Structures are given as structure tokens and as C-alpha cells.
Amino acid sequence: MKKKIPVFWGCTFTHNYPFLIKSTKIMLKHLRIDTVEVDDFGCCPDPIYVKAYGKDTQLALSARNLTLAERKSNELLVVCNGCFNILHGANKELRNHKLRNRINSLLPEDTRYGGELKVTHILNTLTSQLPIIKTLIKKPLTGLKVAVHYGCHALYPPVVPSDKPKKPTSLDAIVEATGAQSIDYESKIDCCGIPVITFDKEEADQMLQNKFKDIHDKADCIVTNCPACFMRFDIPPRELRELSVPVLHISELLNLAFGVSPNELFFEGHSTKVESVLEKLGLETLEEMELVKKYFDLAELKSHCEACRKECTAAVITKDTKNPFDSLDTVDKLLEGKFYEVIRGKEIWRCLQCGKCEERCPTNRGLSDMFSKLRELAIMDGQIPKIINDKIKMIEETGYGMPKRAGVRKRMDIGPAPEIEVKGIKQIIAATKKNKKKK
């Protein structure tokens, strides 16, 4: 019998790693667990910053999320260590009737937490499902050496009751169930540094460096269950990249062992590449040239002549500078299969989108559409220039794509610009965001 349960994904998965939400859903489906989506979940709130801001603020924001989950089920599954630490802790405190009434008084009128929810960490769920997991292994990950990282918010207190903070075993056992080897290393239960990175980057980076040094020559990859820790390993500071090790989320590791194709798991979303892991396992993912073929017509790319290069306004203006723009360089790189180099580079943002190349092109093709598509792919890959996020936010909030210059209108004595009803605009942006995730 399938189990249906709401999942609290948290901010890091939602905004930075949507492909890990997909991976987790695939993993849970193998375990006959269907996820129930809950609208309007907000931050847990953050266990470092918001918790420091004020206890009542933290408890009230947690109670809001717990209420939304309680409307759907009597249990909430949490995938993030920090989110679990906050929500589980708040849930425990809010068992106190007097405190719960006071916190409920801070919530909107239609939001009241009943205090009956059970909050479960995903690592605890996987531990309880370990016998079933062992029966689902179709592709044993034999020969793969894994350095597990629990994350400090999973250990103090332990999210799996049977784990001892100084010598946990739950994540190791899940990894070894796949056929991989969980190695021991000195800094295994140490922090990755992310909780202090804002306040003391030097200390945070030293913590990460210690982990990498301990792991680098011993393991093929790091496996963690924590989204924030995953991000820390996946996007290390520049000076530590040579020491970095590929990182997999526990759901990705299990899915590979369950026989799920790497192409379903969007490994191209990782910043620290995992090809070495897949190669060791004898698995294949889409080669970069296959991705070029997927999104572009090779015959069309090969057909471009010199008109694009000669007529491009950006190319003409920058011709004699230190950094000249050549639109056909991007075409050449795509034809060489350098898909990620292109979408993660800066050149695709230099096209003016003026359409001049289409006018000058003998076949009326030009390159504007290609650059537009490359930008869309870059955003799907997480390479989002701040200006784009700022622009979308402005349109969502005001309906306008430019900031207001109230002073000019005031001097002209014509009053402020008309207010726009943004409800429909927000719906459109939300709907198109969902469509982007489906692609």
C-alpha cells in the first residue's frame, strides 16, 4: 500500500537544486511513498539567522508551516537538516498548550496550529526502509568509495534515534546497502562550515579544506543528505576547487543503485562535475554533443556564414578592444560539443538581441534565437544574472519593468504612474516557472 505524505523541501532545494527534489521524489516512489505538495510553505525559518532574530518570530513562522502541513496529514517529512532541526524543535515546544496559544495569537486568523503533527527526517525514513532498500538494488555500486557527510544539524540531536552523535551509522548503512563502500575519515562528523560562512569566511573555508584534504585521495565522492551541505561541497570557493570531490545527494546514489538512468537525474545541474563517478560505475549520461543536438539543429548551426560576424553591432563596436565579441565563436563551440562552457560563460549575455543579424542573413536566420535559447538553458542550469532576478521581481511587485521616477512626474504635475493590478502577472510568472521546471 502506497503512503502519501507532505514533504517540506526547504529553500535550498527549491531555489538552487530543483533537480534534487525530482531525484528525491523518484527515490521515494521506489519506496512506495508519494509526495503531497503543500502550497505556501515558507522558510522553516533559517536555523542560524532568523532564530537569532527572535524566538517568537522563529516559533510563529514554524507554526505557520506546521499548520499548513497539518491540514494535509498527521505527518510531515523534512529533507533538510536545518529545517528539521527548527521544525521538529518548534513542534516539540508547541506541545505546550499555553505556549501554543500564545504563538497562535501571532498567526493570521485562519491559521492555528493544533500541535498534533509528527515531524520526520528523511534519513530516519530511509533507515526504517533499509530492508526494503536492499531488495530494490538492481545496479550494485560495487567498487565505489564514498565519504559520507551527515551534517551537524543531523547529529545534535541525532535525527535518527539510533545514531550516536560521535559515531553515527545510519547514512553509512544506507550507502553500503547500495554495494558501495563507506570509508572512514578523520573529519567525518565535522561541520562543512556553512553555518558560519557569513560571519567568518576564513574559519568556514578552513573547515571545508580539512574535509577535502581528508577525503581527496580516499574517496570517489561525498554523499550527504543535507541540502545546505550539498551546496557547500558542490560550489566550493575558487581556492579549494583543486581539492574538491564530486558530491551526490543520497537520493541520487540510491536511484543509481535502483537502476534509474543518469539521464533522468539531471547531473548536469551539479557545479562540481560527477562524470568520474559515473564512469567508474560504467554508467552513461548525455554527452555534451547530445545536449547540443537536443536543443539545436546542427545543420543550421553549420550553415551560418560570415554575415553574422561582419554585421553584428556588438562585434563591430568591440572589434578593437581587449575583449572583442564574435558571435560565431559561440556557434563554433557548440559544434565542438562545448555545451556547458557556452551556457556557463559570459559571451551569451553579450548579444544585443537587436535582430540586425537576421536582417543581414541570406536565409533570414541570424543568431538572436540561438542566443535567446542559450540564455534560457543557462537559467535552467542555475546561471542567473542578478539583473534578471531583479527585473522579474520588479515586474511581479509593480507590473512595470523599470523603477519609478516619481520626481519627474511630480515636477510635471501629472501625479504618480498608474498602479497596475499584479495578481494576473504573478500568476503568469508562477505558471511559466512551473513550465520551465518541466523541460
360 or 350: whose pLDDT is higher?
350
Crossing angle of the two packed helices 386-398 and 423-438, in degrees rounded to 10: 140
Q: Are residues 24 and 253 in contact, defined by beta-carbon separation less than 8 angstroms? A: no
Mean model confidence pLDDT for the chain: 90
Q: Which of 146-150, 379-383, 430-434 has the highest mean pLDDT?
A: 146-150
Written as nine digits, the cell of 156 is: 545534535
Give tens-digit pLDDT for 265-308.
Answer: 989 889 998 989 998 998 866 677 888 999 999 999 988 877 77
Q: What pLDDT is attached to residue 268?
A: 85
Give tens-digit pLDDT for 369-409.
Answer: 999 999 999 888 777 788 888 888 889 888 888 887 778 77
Give tens-digit pLDDT for 166-213.
Answer: 999 999 999 999 999 999 999 999 999 988 888 899 999 999 999 999
- Find all residues with CB under 8 Å of 11, minimum gap 6, and list them: 43, 44, 46
Q: Are residues 232 and 193 in contact, defined by beta-carbon separation less than 8 angstroms? A: yes
Q: What pLDDT is attached to residue 389?
A: 82
Q: Closest Cα partner for 153 from 46, 74, 58?
A: 46
Cα 159 to its chain centre, rounded Å, is: 22
CATH of 129-287, one of 3.40.50.720, 3.40.50.620, 3.40.50.11810, 3.40.50.12160: 3.40.50.11810
CA–CA–CA angle 164, 167, 170 (5° rounding): 75
Written as nine digits, the cell of 119 is: 515531524
Cα–Cα distance for residue pair 220/224, rounded to 1 Å: 14
Kindly tell me if the per-residue pLDDT of 362 is higher than 90: no
Neighbours of 257 (CB within 10 A): 26
> CA quadruple 311, 313, 316, 318: dihedral positive or negative?
negative
The total number of residues shown for the chain amounts to: 439
Give the pLDDT band (50/70/90) at residue 436. Answer: low
Average pLDDT over residues 17-21: 95
CATH of 3-124, one of 3.40.190.170, 1.20.1050.140, 2.60.40.10, 3.40.30.10: 1.20.1050.140
Neighbours of 365 (CB within 10 A): 17
For the entire predicted model, the pTM comes to 0.68
> CA quadruple 215, 219, 220, 225: dihedral positive or negative?
negative
Cα 327 to its chain centre, rounded Å, is: 31
Taking the domains of the chain in order of start, what are their residue ranges? 3-124, 129-287, 289-380, 386-438
Cα–Cα distance for residue pair 161/204, rounded to 1 Å: 28
Give tens-digit pLDDT for 53-105.
Answer: 888 999 999 999 999 999 999 999 999 999 999 999 999 999 999 999 999 99
Neighbours of 71 (CB within 10 A): 12
Give, as one character, the DSSP assignment of residue 167.
Answer: B
Kindly tell me if the per-residue pLDDT of 439 is higher than 60: no
Cα–Cα distance for residue pair 235/240, rounded to 1 Å: 10
Cα–Cα distance for residue pair 205/226, rounded to 1 Å: 18
Cα-based distances in Å from 210 to 146, 206, 344: 17, 6, 29
Give the pLDDT band (50/70/90) at residue 435. Answer: low
Q: Are residues 383 and 420 in contact, defined by beta-carbon separation less than 8 angstroms? A: no
Q: What pLDDT is attached to residue 392?
A: 86
Q: What pLDDT is attached to residue 434?
A: 56
Any long-range contacts for 235-240 (C-beta under 8 Å, 24+ apart)?
A: 235/271, 235/272, 236/208, 236/212, 236/272, 237/205, 237/208, 239/205, 240/205, 240/208, 240/209, 240/212
Q: Closest Cα partner for 111 from 120, 100, 121?
A: 100
Residue type, 260: V
Give the pLDDT band (50/70/90) at residue 360. Answer: confident
Q: Closest Cα partner for 364 from 305, 276, 277, 296?
A: 305
Kindly tell me if the per-residue pLDDT of 251 is higher than 80: yes
Q: How does DSSP assign 248-313, residue by residue? A: EEHHHHHHHHTT--GGGTTGGG-SS--HHHHHHTT-----HHHHHHHHS-HHHHHT--THHHHH-H
Average pLDDT over residues 244-259: 97
Paired residues of 333 in beta bridges: none
Cα–Cα distance for residue pair 27/17, rounded to 1 Å: 16
Backbone angles phi, psi at 179, to 5 degrees: 100, -10
